[in-house]
A and B are shown apart, each in its own frame.
Chain A
């Protein structure tokens, strides 16, 4: 079975731009979560979606938004990018209480 997939792998943007990150969960997993991981820190929770509905939101500004599609894939959108948004963005899918991560999208904001 394929694991969690994310695209793109790497992304370079400039301040003020908008970015869309994509995630496909493991087949059969209906819950998707997004995390931001800054170098040297653990992942920080951004959003959780289940059956296309938002189930949880972390302490991130409204510039961050997400959605889940009928096939359970998900998008994370970030508007008005700041230098501090540079990080590894991780998507995780879960079935039950186990959570499996994708390889991440490395976003660099210049």
Chain B
């Protein structure tokens, strides 16, 4: 069993819809959680980070962490075609630990 599970998709949504992405994990020691966006053949771009349970909002993005369920989510409101990319969740046990990534979910936003 992988430490971090993420549905690979593809997830196809119409423009303007809410995109809902999630990851589950098995290691209860994970404390820091991040979401990255990766366009084809590019490096991952940091979108959101959090180190506590609850919600964090930044513009159209909301990150949610539920440590009791070992489950994190990313919501993208008012999705745009430019949001079409692969979204990666990543987590680490402390500020120095290695990041463990999910496999990434491919999102396609259709006009």
Q: Is the CB of A103 within 8 A of B42?
A: yes
Chain A, 4-59, CB within 8 A of any chain B CB: 4, 33, 40-45, 48, 50, 55-56, 58
Q: Is the CB of B98 within 8 A of A42?
A: no
Q: How many residues of A contact B (CB 8 A)?
A: 25
Assign chain B's interface to a size class: 20 to 34
Q: Is the CB of A106 within 8 A of B98?
A: no
Q: Is the CB of B103 within 8 A of A41?
A: yes
Q: Is A96 an interface residue (CB 8 A)?
A: yes
Main SS of the interface on chain A? strand
The smallest beta-carbon distance between B110 and chain A, in angstroms, is 22
Question: What residues on A are CB-neighbors of B92 within 8 Å?
Answer: 97
Q: Is the CB of A41 within 8 A of B104?
A: yes
Interface residues of A (CB under 8 A from B): 4, 33, 40-45, 48, 50, 55-56, 58, 88, 90, 96-104, 106
9 contacts between A and B (CB under 8 A): A4-B43, A41-B104, A42-B4, A42-B101, A43-B44, A55-B96, A90-B44, A98-B46, A103-B43
